[in-house]
Amino acid sequence: MNSRMIDVTVAAKGTLAWLSKHPMHDAWVKNDQGVLWIRGKPGSGKSTLMRRVLESTKKMLENDKEVLILSFFFHGRGTALQRSPLGLYRSLLHQLLDAAPDIMIDFVESYKRNNKTRGECGTAWNWDQNELRDFLEGALREVSRTVSVWLFIDALDEVGEKDAVDLIQMSGSLIKDLPALTKFRFCFASRHYPVLTQDFKVNICLEDENLGDISEFVKTNLKIFSTNIIPDLVIERAGGIFMWARLVTERVLKLNREGMDGMEIEAQVHGVTPDLDDLYAEVLARLDDVASVQLFDWVCFARRPLTPEELLSAIGVKIPEPLGESQDADESSVSGDPSRPHLSRMERRIGSLSGGLAEFVMTENGDQEPSTVVQFIHQSVQDFYVTKGLALVHDNPTDTTISQQIGKTHDCLLRACIRYRLPDATISQQIGEFHDFLSRGTSDNPNTDDGWLTRYASAKAKFPLLAYAISSWSHHARESQERGSSLDYLLEEEYLDWPSAHREQVLSKSWIKTGHNSHACSILHLLAAEGLVGPLRVLIRQARDEGNVFIDVRDRQGKTPLVRAVECGRTEVVKLFVNETIPVKTGNWLRFNSQKTLPSPPQVNFNLIHDERTILSKAVRSRNRAVVRLLINSGKLNVNQHLSEREFAGLTALSHAILAQEYDIMQDLLDCEQVDPNVMRWEDSSLYWAISQKDHIALKALLNSSKVNVNQTTFESFIAAYPPLTYAARGENWHAVKALLETERVHAGIKRSRMPRLNFMDPHPSAAYVLIHENQIELLVKLRDAKVDGQAPSEEEKFSRMKGAIEEVLENPDMPPDEVQKLAEELMGDNVAEARIWGMDFPLRNDIFLY
């Protein structure tokens, strides 16, 4: 995630010498609080300058112990985290956690709490982007109180204009709100954004500064033309665009190697368009090889950067046409030749196919060894190919939109992945086994793992694109679907090598391996989990029309397609099930596979309990508000459902929302007419969970709902019955005690239960008893004076509330008689302070000491 800076071109010797003397840079360094904006056209050298600024700052401050330097380089051609705000937040928080762990306590506690209540991070849950942003803002404010913070963010434009502007304005607002003595400097680089010019006047425009750097670069590389005007011509026509100068310099050297004389080369330079996009278009126009077009498609739209072996293997895969149109349906599309050309040969081949617009770079991937991948030489190449290049190289109708062109390209990559993934039944089985082994890290028999690794290495050599095709085909499917493709052809055997037997049952007996989960599942599970609505709709409607498919089949984990869709957050799939099925009890997958006649119409069990959670609870825990709304408004499930009676503590969906701190979802549930917030199993009503978690936000929402019974007791049939007020007091949740009393709905006079005790060590006291013992005098007065249903208590009621609590204190068998007498004198004597509490005469009764 942080490897991008390593890839950035190091400034050529003799360049960027002007930086340290630039007045804007100097003003930024000397000002304790400020923003420096490095701006420029695509290809002007912003990232190279940012790297130099970062490195020079580190060198300048290397002996200063009260300095914290944070940085992130966006990478539009990199992985998803390298080009998203989420990646920025995660990276900066990781740097803060490493450098200043003391200010990250809340973040760490949130992580531990989520792991405890929701499961393992990365598997059961993931950080929400807005949540991480809030943690980052808080951490930056806190750490800047004690150290000088220097924050560097490069290539903000590669995250998209909207996100870029939002991030810049957020950082600017953060600095403006900091105390006067706080030291916080922020430097960012992006393309020109007119909307920011007025707010960030301390800026450096690359086109105005880099003429000398371009001149140094060109003259160094074109030394052989030192007596010719060609170098000066390149410098002049570059117009401050470093990338243009680089490409034209390389072209000049190539023409010279081909034997062209100076006059001819000069004419060629004059003929090169000064516009960078037009230059890229010229390169594409000269590439008439089909493999070149496929290379550009893969480099631009692959889910992650491909290795040279993967890329060459990908462009060697013949993409089949839809069934009935293929001219080579029986031809194997995957080469069985395990040999691969040497890396330098691959580099030359890819350079030739791309016209010099793609290059090899080293990249890091977590703890794995650095690897060589292929990417465009600059982000401007990728931007050009998306906005203009696709229309130039693909034969699409003239009215095709950019979005449609992107969708068609993803569709081609999807077909290539599927054909590569399943070239024949035998290889299909092997691929599934290999992926299963890799996903678990071990086989069923660990003693054979070495053999599996050997077999996998052999398969990887034969099929370089294997891992990518398995893990990424669904990404291309969703991207294509979002842009209009129905994907119905996925049900044809031409593209998925599923057995043809029992096709009348929509192949639900055919177990295959999914890309991200190796557990056996049906086609229905696969489509639901991956969010592929088009083909799934075909299957459901086929079930409706023919009445021969039981779509609620369970996989070997006991999950139905609906469960898979909910767990994966596939909103449109859940909507499809809600709209086109009827609720009914589900069947067992083994029983299903033995059936010859299946029920109709399509039936789905919306009340299925799997892995100790209901479907609605799974949606809540997945933090998918849209799915929760679909389910609770469907009328097809019990919104108050919890675990079976044999479970000690069954949580409702509302309770799960409280534990997950999903307040918007919690409010949606409270607003749902069918949701009963008072449903409880043992002590787990929603109100009790909010109190026990000391969640003030959840408590406020519950108390604002007229549906919540603020006097509901727990443990109705076991030992004692606690009202919420007592429960809050016993947990020393004084905020909850105050909030409950302020509702004017709490029966403040409720005493502790007189139910039989198991022993005298557990007296189950009232709220007033606890408040007396904990010296919460202010809350005790509120309890004494608390209104109920808008009515203020009478003097007699006030007396009763306090008297009952004092009786409980005095009858405590654990208190020695002399302490009881002393306490009685303090509470009921003539003590002035205590008299203010009671507001009445409270004579000491001699018989109160009788047990």
Mean pLDDT of 213-220: 92
* pLDDT of 460 strictly over 90: no
Domain boundaries of the chain, sorted by first residue: 4-208, 211-274, 717-851
Q: Would you state the pLDDT for residue 648?
A: 38
State what percent of residues in the chain have pLDDT above 90.
35
Cβ(139)–Cβ(102) under 8 Å? no
Residue 447 has a pLDDT of 53
Q: Please say if the pLDDT value at position 589 is more than 70.
A: no
Chain mean position to CA 547: 39
pLDDT in tens, 539-566: 888 877 776 556 778 887 888 899 999 9
- Higher pLDDT, residue 489 or 434: 489
Lowest mean pLDDT, pick from 151-155, 388-392, 498-502, 679-683: 498-502
If pLDDT is split at 50, 70 and 90, which confidence band does 114 have?
confident
Neighbours of 596 (CB within 10 A): 6
DSSP 125: B
Pairing of strands 582-583, 67-73: unpaired
CA dihedral (197, 202, 207, 212) in degrees, to 10, reads: 170
Does residue 179 carry a pLDDT above 90? no
At 214 the three-state DSSP class reads helix
Structure tokens at 305: 């950067």
More confident residue, 203 or 585: 203
Instruction: Report the pLDDT value the prediction gives residue 781, as an integer from 0 to 100.
Output: 80
**E-strand stretches of 495-653:** 582-583, 603-604, 609-610, 613-614
609: pLDDT strictly greater than 60: yes
Task: Output 786 or 612, whichever has higher pLDDT.
Answer: 786
State percent of the chain over pLDDT 70. 73
How many angstroms separate the Cα of 674 from the Cα of each of 54, 632, 633, 641, 678? 58, 8, 9, 11, 12
Tokens of 214: 């371009």
Closest CA to 203 of 45, 53, 33, 39: 39
Query: Per-residue confidence at 719, pLDDT binned at 50, 70, 90?
Result: very low
Distance of CA 69 to the CA centre of its chain: 26
Output the CA–CA distances (angstroms, integers) from residue 816 to 768, 810, 834, in the order listed. Answer: 21, 10, 22
Burial class from Cβ neighbours inside 10 Å (0-12, 13-18, 19+) for residue 154 reads: buried
Tokens at residue 724, please? 């919420």
Q: Considering the entire predicted model, what is its pTM? A: 0.74
The residue with tokens 């031409």 is 494
Amino acid letter, residue 113 = R
Average pLDDT of span 806-821: 61
pLDDT at 478 over 90: yes
| Stretch 194-214: mean pLDDT | 84
pLDDT surpassing 80 at residue 429: no
Strands 67-73 and 33-39: unpaired
Task: Considering only CA atoms, give the Rg of the chain.
Answer: 35
What is the C-alpha separation between 587 and 288, in angstroms, rounded?
A: 56
Average pLDDT, the chain: 78
User: What is d(CA 312, CA 608) in angstroms, rounded to the nearest whole number?
Assistant: 47
Residue 279 or residue 605, greater confidence: 279
Residue 306 has pLDDT above 60, yes or no: yes
Q: What's the CA gap between 530 and 524, in Å, rounded?
A: 10
Higher pLDDT, 429 or 183: 183
The CATH architecture one would assign to domain 4-208 is: 3-Layer(aba) Sandwich (3.40)
Q: Which residue has the higher pLDDT, 398 or 600?
A: 398
Across the range 220-245, mean pLDDT stands at: 90
Ranges 107-116, 624-633, 792-801, most confident: 624-633
With 0-12 / 13-18 / 19 or more C-beta atoms within 10 angstroms meaning exposed / middle / buried, residue 325 is exposed
* 85 or 201: which leads in pLDDT: 85
Beta-carbon neighbour count of residue 33 at 10 Å? Answer: 17
Write out pLDDT tens, residues 332-385.
Answer: 333 333 344 467 788 888 988 999 999 998 876 655 567 889 999 999 999 999
More confident residue, 463 or 412: 412
Higher pLDDT, 845 or 734: 734
pLDDT at 211 over 60: yes
Checking if the pLDDT of 249 tops 70, the result is yes
User: Is it the case that residue 327 has pLDDT exceeding 80?
Assistant: no
More confident residue, 297 or 197: 297
Question: What is the pLDDT at residue 769?
Answer: 75
- At residue 78, the pLDDT reads 81
